[in-house]
A = this chain, B = another copy of it.
C-alpha cells in the first residue's frame, strides 16, 4: 500500500502518457478515489466528496473522469445490482481485478487482493481455447459475525 501522493503521481503520469491533460478537477477526483480505496462509491458519492473541496466542479466532469480512469484501467466500473455503477480502484501491480465478498445481510463489500484464479484460467484456456485477460469474482454470502447479529451495518442500503 503506497502513500496517496505517490499513487496520485503515478496515475497522473499514466494519464499524461496517453495524451490526456492533467487538470485540477481530475486530480481532485483521483484523490477522493485514493482516500476511499475500499469504499465502492457511486459517481454521485464521488461527486459529493469532491465537491467538499472543490465546490465548483460539475457532475458531468466527475462522470467523464471516472470513465477516463476506467479506460486507462486504473479503475474498474462495477455493478453490484443496485442500479448504480460503482467505481473501484484497481490495485497497482495487480494484473487482474481483485475479488469481492458481498454480505447479503448488511450489504458490506470486502475485498480479497490475492489472485485466486490463476489455475482456473489455465483450465479455461485448455478446455475452451479462451485466453483470459481479466476476471470478475464475487462471493455472495454472510460473514459469521453478521449472522450472529453483531453486524456493524445492519439495515443500511449498501
Contact = CB atoms under 8 A, between A and B. Distances in A.
Number of copies of this protein chain within its complex: 2
Interface size bracket, A side:
20 to 34
Secondary structure at the A interface, as helix, strand, loop or mixed, is: strand
A85 to B, nearest CB: 8
Interface string A80-113: 0100000000000000000001011000001010
A141 interface: yes
Interface string A9-53: 000000000000000000000000000000000000000000000
A147 B135 contact: no
A134 B139 CA distance: 6
A141 B129 CA distance: 10
